[in-house]
């Protein structure tokens, strides 16, 4: 689970806790506006979680495509040096794995 998903899960859990506390109240004490706000919050958090997962899947796919392109170039350019080519291929694979684990860098 990514840090973003973890944060979204905490938000959903907080909303669920609020719903649970409202369930313990007498119906006359429950403000319909509170329920509306909680429902909207849960909806927004759930959508954000889905988008986060979609983005992670797209990012992973792009990294795999980049790795395949780099590996193809390595094989092409280093055809006469198979041992060196293999070392470079290993480095390319390790780099992709590191990028998949790394947080997204955002320019300021």
Who's near 95: CB < 8 A, 6+ residues apart? Answer: 67
Nearest to 60 by CA among 97, 95, 93: 97
What is the value of pTM for the model shown?
0.67
Query: pLDDT tens, 38-47?
Result: 999 999 999 9
pLDDT digits (tens, 9 = 90+) for 49-94: 999 889 889 998 999 999 999 999 999 999 999 999 999 999 999 9
Which helix H or strand E contains 44, and what residues bound it? helix 32-77
Q: How far apart are CA 12 and CA 41, in angstroms?
A: 8
DSSP 103: P
């Amino acid at each position: 689970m990514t840090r973003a998903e973890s944060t979204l899960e905490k938000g959903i859990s907080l909303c669920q806790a609020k719903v649970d506390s409202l369930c313990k109240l007498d119906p006359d004490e429950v403000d319909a506006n509170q329920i509306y706000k909680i429902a909207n919050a849960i909806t927004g958090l759930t959508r954000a979680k889905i988008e986060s997962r979609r983005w992670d899947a797209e990012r992973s796919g792009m990294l795999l495509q980049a790795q395949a392109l780099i590996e193809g170039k390595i094989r092409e350019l280093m055809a006469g040096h198979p041992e060196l080519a293999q070392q470079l291929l290993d480095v390319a694979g390790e780099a992709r794995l590191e990028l998949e684990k790394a947080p997204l860098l955002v320019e300021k």
